């Protein structure tokens, strides 16, 4: 199984500052088709997860351009520029290259 | 508006069975692969099972293989999860989801 390892944030994050969340996969998620099979989700308190980023760097419909995804085949970063109150929650990375689909353990973002 | 509405959860004794349903609307259900993903209380996300649009391909997490069965009825826009031989560790909020959309979840509690 592909293991997804997420880093922690130096919480709380001051409002208006940027925040970067890291995720590492135990196997390259870069397919021969050139696409990287990684999603980022945000789960706000008491809500269902929401897709933020797919194919490592493509923003989902309606997602603020303050969110950006980047990385290589095994190391990934979700950057949130100018953190706002609505960004509070737990962020998950997920690989969809292979079954079983696997998620990282989650990274909590708290606002100062 | 896309909606995924889960039902069928509840309190069940260990070893018993339960069947979850997910009614989809607002998109062409028969065109999409579907997933069940669960979240134990206070824990992260765990992928449970996936089914392709025509039910040709089905995958399960090792933790549920042989006990859970995912299925769908495209005529009824409904996804199912038949759960048997339930264990206390199956206690979780079960989400029906595509990549982009998640339901609100249905709680399953396995306890004597």
Rounded average pLDDT over B43-67? 98
Token pair of B50, please? 């996936």
Residue B49 pLDDT class (50, 70, 90 cuts):
very high
pLDDT at res. B68? 98
CB < 8 Å to B105, chain A: 48
Q: What is the pLDDT along chain A (112 residues), one digit of tens a residue?
A: 999 999 999 889 999 999 999 999 999 999 999 999 999 999 999 999 999 999 999 999 999 999 999 999 999 999 999 999 999 999 999 999 999 999 999 999 999 8
pLDDT at res. B21? 98
Of B46, B61, B99, the CB nearest to A51: B99
Residue B1 pLDDT class (50, 70, 90 cuts):
very high
Contact indicator for B94, B108 with CB cutoff of 8 Å: yes
Of A60, A61, A101, the CB nearest to B47: A101
Please check the confidence at residue B111 and state whether its pLDDT lies above 90: yes
Q: What share of chain A is helix, strand, coil (3-state, %, to 5)?
A: 5, 45, 55
pLDDT at res. A13? 93
CB < 8 Å to A39, chain B: 99
For residue B110, give every residue at least 6 positions away whose Cβ sits within 8 Å of its Cβ, in sequence order, or none. Answer: B12, B13, B14, B86, B87, B88, B89, B90, B91
pLDDT at res. A48? 98
CA angle B95–B8–B61, rounded 5-degree value? 45
For residue B107, give every residue at least 6 positions away whose Cβ sits within 8 Å of its Cβ, in sequence order, or none. Answer: B9, B10, B92, B93, B94
pLDDT at res. A11? 84
pLDDT at res. B103? 98
Q: In Å, how far is B104's CA from the nearest CA of chain A?
A: 6
User: Under an 8 A CB cutoff, do A60 and B44 touch?
Assistant: no
d(CA A93, CA B12): 32
User: Under an 8 A CB cutoff, do A105 and B95 touch?
Assistant: no
């Amino acid at each position: 199984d592909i293991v997804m390892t997420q880093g922690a944030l130096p919480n709380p994050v001051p409002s208006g500052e940027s925040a970067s969340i890291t995720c590492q996969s135990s196997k390259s998620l870069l397919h021969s088709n050139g696409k990287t099979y990684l999603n980022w989700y945000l789960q706000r308190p008491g809500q269902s997860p929401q897709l933020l980023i797919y194919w490592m760097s493509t923003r989902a419909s309606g997602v603020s351009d303050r969110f950006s995804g980047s990385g290589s085949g095994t190391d990934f970063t979700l950057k949130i520029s100018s953190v706002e109150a609505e960004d509070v929650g737990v962020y998950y990375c997920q690989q969809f290259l292979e079954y079983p689909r696997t998620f990282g353990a989650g990274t909590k973002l708290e606002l100062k | 508006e896309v909606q995924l509405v889960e039902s069928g959860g509840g309190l069940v004794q260990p070893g018993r069975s339960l069947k979850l349903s997910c009614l989809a609307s607002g998109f062409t259900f028969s065109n999409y692969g579907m997933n069940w993903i669960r979240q134990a209380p206070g824990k992260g996300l765990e992928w449970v099972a996936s089914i392709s649009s025509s039910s040709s391909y089905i995958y399960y997490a090792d933790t549920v293989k042989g006990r859970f069965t995912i299925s769908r009825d495209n005529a009824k826009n409904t996804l199912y999860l038949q759960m048997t031989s339930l264990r206390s560790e199956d206690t979780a909020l079960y989400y029906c989801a595509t990549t982009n959309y998640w339901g609100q979840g249905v709680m399953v509690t396995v306890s004597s």
